[in-house]
Structure 1
Amino acid sequence: MDEGCAGAEDIEIYQGQASPLPSGVPAYKVDVVNRCLGGELDGGDCAIAGIHVRCGWFSSVSLVDPRRFRRLGHDDCLLNDGRPLLGGETVSFEYANSFKYDLSVRVATCVDPTASP
């Protein structure tokens, strides 16, 4: 695709503490950001889709919207239902578990945001 898009290298995952559940189970807020800024006139060269995250046996005590983040198999979670994340966009979700998962981008593909799915 365009030289402005680096795929997985452009995706950053930030995790922090969120308010624990009433039961006391720790909760975590996750922000996944497309750091690609692209050209000034055409930010579309930074659309990244098919973002798969290394996530172990991810599970959550509280429901995570599966359109935002869901486990497909061991160490393979899909972000944003596979849809493109444009340059500068963020997808956020919270999960609750007794420990924090080590999340990292496994694969992500630069796409043309104007192409039909």
Structure 2
Amino acid sequence: MHGRQTDAVQHGVSLILHHGCGARCDTKAPTVQQVQVGFGEPPKFAVEVKNNCPMCPVIDIHVKCGNFSQAVVDPRQFKVLSYDDCIVNGGLPLPPLQKLSFNYSHSKFLLTLKDWHFQCE
């Protein structure tokens, strides 16, 4: 019986740690920031998407992107799926505290976070 209790305690600790990881990331949503870096015609913008969770990769990052022009950026980094829905990094994981950055030259597009998932194991 002692072995079963130990297994249950170890299993319980594992579940708590797994849940704790997700709970910690809930307040660490990814961020999308853009800054104008060129003032010619057209202007140039630097965009940074960051995973702010210190413990878990973030996957399937979708961004509200209006009528973003796919022609201005590599679709492996930022792909237009439909009007107002773009996906970062092809939906692949962005490791904890990592950034993905790209530039585009065009009039400014409003880019805001739409949806994402943490991949805690």
Question: TM exceeds 0.5?
Answer: yes
**Structure 1, unaligned stretches of length 5 or more?**
39-45
Higher radius of gyration, 1 or 2: 2
Q: TM-score, normalised by structure 2?
A: 0.74
Identity %: 35
SS in 2 for 1:4: helix
- Larger relative contact order (CA 8 Å, sep ≥ 6): 1
1:36 to 39, 53, 69: 53
Q: Which has the higher helix share?
A: 2
Q: Which residue of 2 aligns with 1:26?
A: 43
Q: TM-score, normalised by structure 1?
A: 0.76
SS in 2 for 1:3: helix
The runs of at least 4 aligned residues of structure 1 exceeding 3 Å deviation read: none
Superposition CA RMSD, Å:
2.0
AA aligned opposite 1:47: P
Q: Which residue of 2 aligns with 1:4?
A: 24
**Structure 2, unaligned stretches of length 5 or more?**
1-18
Are the equivalent residues in 2 in contact too, given 1:20–1:96 (CA < 8 A)?
Answer: no
Give the length in aligned residue pairs: 101
The 5-angstrom pairing of residues 39-50 of structure 1 reads 46-50=56-60
Residue 68 (str. 1) matches residue 74 (str. 2): no
